[in-house]
Every structure is written in structure tokens, then in C-alpha cells.
Amino acid sequence: MELIFIGLAAVALISGILVVFQTHPLRSALWLIVNFFAVAGIYLMLHAEFIAAIQIIVYAGAIMVLFLFVIMLLNLRHPEEPTPRPYAAQKVAGFALSVAMAFFIAFGLAHVNLGPAAPAAPGLGNTESIAKLLFTDYLLPFEVTSVLLLVSIVGAVVLSKSKLK
Amino acid sequence: MVVPLPYILGLSVALFALGAIGVLIRRNILIILMCLEMMLNAVNLAFIGFADYFKAVDGQMFVFFVLTVAAAEVAVGLALVVAIFRQRATVYVDDLNILKW
């Protein structure tokens, strides 16, 4: 079982590295889709079947398709220009600061006292327990996210108009 | 416990740092947005890890809402990218300096 996790984690990490260091955004988008599939596989191992399916449908199937649409719409001829000289130090600083931040976060996470893991409780399946919480305790955020999606749709339509009358 | 929590959190921190490196290093706005999505994905992984550790479905609820917010943000962000491209014919953040004094 650990071997499956190590395989999925390796796929996720390698595709993540490839997302950051590709020249063309199209290749980055495809490697990001691989990353999402690997993380969805890890969700399946963590007893989160509903979220794994939602991740594949929404993240890899809708958001990344939107990305691919826009990338092909823009139709860039020269994907990445060579970096002008003043930005080399900026890139080194960005890399170093991100690694330092990762170490700080890992240090903080290692020194937290979580308490014992909860015992496995038999009962509802994953989708039923999510639905049970979603429509009782989290009803207000659920309705608010529908308003949020409406706002984003209106914003996307307004921003895509060619001439603002 | 199928997968120990420290492994999940370590992978989450690594993916988050990779996304942060991408946001800071790359000049193409589309790749910056994609690395932002990778950071959100890493946070989702941490939430799911904790939800499995404490056997509480609330972590998965948060992932649900983070996913929704990420979808809305990507829609508006890409609409902005298209609008900027129509105006300035560029996708590099170096050329977007109209607000510079």
C-alpha cells in the first residue's frame, strides 16, 4: 500500500516540477493535468472518494480545459522570451525564499501536537456523509458559493466583451 | 491509517513550495496562474489528509469550497488575461507596467 502512495507522490512531484520549468504554457497545462490525476489517486487512498471524483471532473476536466482553451486562443508564437539580465538575481531569490518558506512550514508542522488519530467509524459512505454535512452545518457557505459563481460568470462575460458600450 | 499523516503533509508542503517557486520565477501570466492552482491543490491535499486523520468529514467540506473558489477565480483570471492580451498583445508580466510611477 505504501508503494502505491510513493508512486503517486513521485508522479505528483515530478509533474509539479515539470509544470514550473516548461517553456510553453500548453505543456505546463498538460503536466498539471497529470498532477491533478496523481493527487486524485492519493485522495482515493485517503478515503475521500467523492472529492477525488470532483477533483477529476472539476479541476482536471473543467478548469484545465478552460486553461487550454485560453492558451490556444492566445496562440502565442514565442512562448517564453529569454530572461533579461537583471532578473537572474530575482529568480535565485525567489527560489531560495520558497525553499526557506517550505522549511519553515515543515518545521512548524513537525512540532505540532495533533493528538491521537481517531478510530475508524463505520457508517455512511463518503458521499452521504458529505451531503449530510453540506446541507445542514454548511448550508450558508453552500448558498454563498452559488452567489460567488454567479459573480464570476458575470465578471468573465463582462471582461470578454470586445467593446464596452 | 493507510498513509501516515507526515507523508501527506510533506507532499503538500513540497507541492506548495513548487507552486510558490513557479509564481515567483516565471514571467508568463498563464504559467503563474497554473502554479497558483498547484498551490491550492497542495492545500486541498493537506485538508484531506487531516480529514482522514481525525475521521471528520469537515476537511472534505473545506476542499469542496476551496475547489469552488478556485474555479471562480480561474474563470475571472483567464478573462482578465484575455482582456489584457487584446489590449497589449502580451502575456508577460514584465510588460504590464502601466501603473508604474
Under a CB-based contact definition with an 8 Å cutoff, are residues A62 and B65 in contact?
A: no
Size of interface A-B (CB pairs under 8 A): 221
- Say whether the ipTM exceeds 0.95: no
CB-nearest partner of B80 from A1, A148, A159: A159
- Answer for the pair B50, A40: CB distance below 8 angstroms, yes or no: no
How distant is the Cα of B36 from the closest Cα of chain A, in angstroms?
11
Q: Which residues contact A99 (CB under 8 A, 6 or more apart)?
A: B17, B21
CB contact (8 A) between residue A98 and residue B26: no
Residues A100-112 have pLDDT tens digits of 999 999 888 888 8
Q: What is the pLDDT of residues A129-151, one digit of tens each?
A: 888 888 888 899 999 999 999 99
Q: What is the pLDDT of residue A117?
A: 72
The pTM assigned to this predicted structure is 0.90
What domains appear along chain B, each with residue ranges and CATH number? 5-94 (1.10.287.3510)
DSSP state of B95: G
Asked if A13's CB is within 8 angstroms of B18's CB, the reply is yes
Q: Is the pLDDT of residue A74 over 90?
A: no
C-alpha–C-alpha distance, residues A45 and B42, integer Å: 16
The answer to whether A129 contacts chain B (CB < 8 Å) is yes
